[in-house]
Structures are given as structure tokens and as C-alpha cells.
């Protein structure tokens, strides 16, 4: 009878998988957290609706002169405030987007590493299955000989 051989048991040589988002959130500086907060707040319907309401009130108060014409038509002061907001908001949003791009690159690299590890483990499993198939064929042939039947190929 042929000696049955099996591959060595698979050993996991990699560190445990970690959540990249958790790691990056722990390493984030206060400025990065602020940039993420601004990007989230400014990119929401709540902000757009709130800003629209403020602008409409601004225009109504200045057109009807209920209080005082502090910014008569064509609303130069409002235009200045909007320009300042855009001038400061755009770079802050870009900082947040750059941070998100870094996070995406790290996540893609982490996914690639995990896929490589999974592929290695799948190869080990397939090698074990092949060895088991060979052992079962050998055992089947041995049993067939013992019973006196012709082995099925």
C-alpha cells in the first residue's frame, strides 16, 4: 500500500487584520477632524437650506427697509460674506478630501494584503483537499481489493 501523505498544517504568519478607519481616526489631528466636520456640515441639505433662509431674510430686510438699509441692493456686503465663506470653505473641504483620498489608498492597500493572505490560505486548503482526494482513492482501491471487486477508475 502506498504511504498516504498530507501537507503540513497551514500556519498563519500574518498579524491580525485591523480596521484602517479606526487607526486613521485615532491618528487624526484636531485640524483634520475640524476639516472633516466642516466638509460634512457644508455638504448637507441642512446647511444649504439654512443658508438659503438666511440669505432670503437678508434680502427681504434690506429691500423692505424694515430695520435699516445696512446692505442696499446690489448687496455688496452679502456678496463679501459669501465670497469669504467660499474662500475659506473650499480649502478646508480640499483638506478633508485629501485625507479621504489617503484613507482610500490605505484601505485599497489593506484590501490587497488581505486578498493575498486569503489566496495563500485557499491554496493551502486546496492542497489539503487534493491530498484527501488521493487518500480516498487509495483507500477505495484497497477496500476494493480486499472485497475482491475490480476498482472503479
Query: In the chain, how long is the greatest CA-to-CA distance?
Result: 111
In angstroms, the Cα distances linking 129 to 27, 59, 75, 133 are 44, 76, 77, 6
Q: What's the domain count of the chain? A: 1
Evaluate whether residue 8 is within a structural domain.
no
Is the bond preceding residue 74 a cis peptide, omega within 30 degrees?
A: yes
Q: What would the pLDDT profile of 111-125 be if each residue is shown by its tens digit?
A: 999 999 999 999 999
Q: Which of the four pLDDT bands, split at 50, 70 and 90, describes residue 19?
A: confident
3-state secondary structure of 16: coil
- Report the pLDDT value the prediction gives residue 8, as an integer from 0 to 100: 86
Evaluate whether residue 14 is within a structural domain.
no
Domain enclosing residue 71, as ranges: 29-147
Q: What would the pLDDT profile of 48-58 be if each residue is shown by its tens digit?
A: 999 999 999 99
Evaluate whether residue 140 is within a structural domain.
yes
Length of the chain equals 153
Q: What would the pLDDT profile of 47-104 be if each residue is shown by its tens digit?
A: 999 999 999 999 998 888 866 788 888 999 999 999 999 999 999 999 999 999 999 9
- Report the pLDDT value the prediction gives residue 152, as an integer from 0 to 100: 62
Q: How far apart are CA 92 and CA 71, in angstroms?
A: 28
Amino acid at each position: 500500500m502506498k504511504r498516504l501523505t498530507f501537507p503540513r498544517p497551514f500556519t498563519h504568519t500574518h498579524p491580525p487584520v485591523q480596521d484602517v478607519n479606526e487607526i486613521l481616526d485615532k491618528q487624526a489631528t484636531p485640524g483634520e477632524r475640524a476639516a472633516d466636520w466642516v466638509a460634512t456640515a457644508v455638504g448637507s441639505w441642512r446647511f444649504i437650506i439654512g443658508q438659503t433662509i438666511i440669505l432670503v431674510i437678508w434680502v427681504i430686510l434690506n429691500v423692505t427697509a424694515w430695520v435699516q438699509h445696512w446692505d442696499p441692493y446690489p448687496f455688496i456686503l452679502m456678496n463679501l460674506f459669501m465670497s469669504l465663506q467660499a474662500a475659506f470653505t473650499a480649502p478646508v473641504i480640499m483638506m478633508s478630501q485629501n485625507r479621504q483620498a489617503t484613507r482610500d489608498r490605505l484601505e485599497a492597500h489593506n484590501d490587497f494584503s488581505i486578498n493575498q493572505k486569503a489566496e495563500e490560505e485557499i491554496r493551502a486548503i486546496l492542497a489539503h483537499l487534493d491530498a484527501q482526494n488521493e487518500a480516498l482513492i487509495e483507500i477505495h482501491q484497497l477496500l476494493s481489493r480486499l472485497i475482491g471487486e475490480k476498482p472503479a477508475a
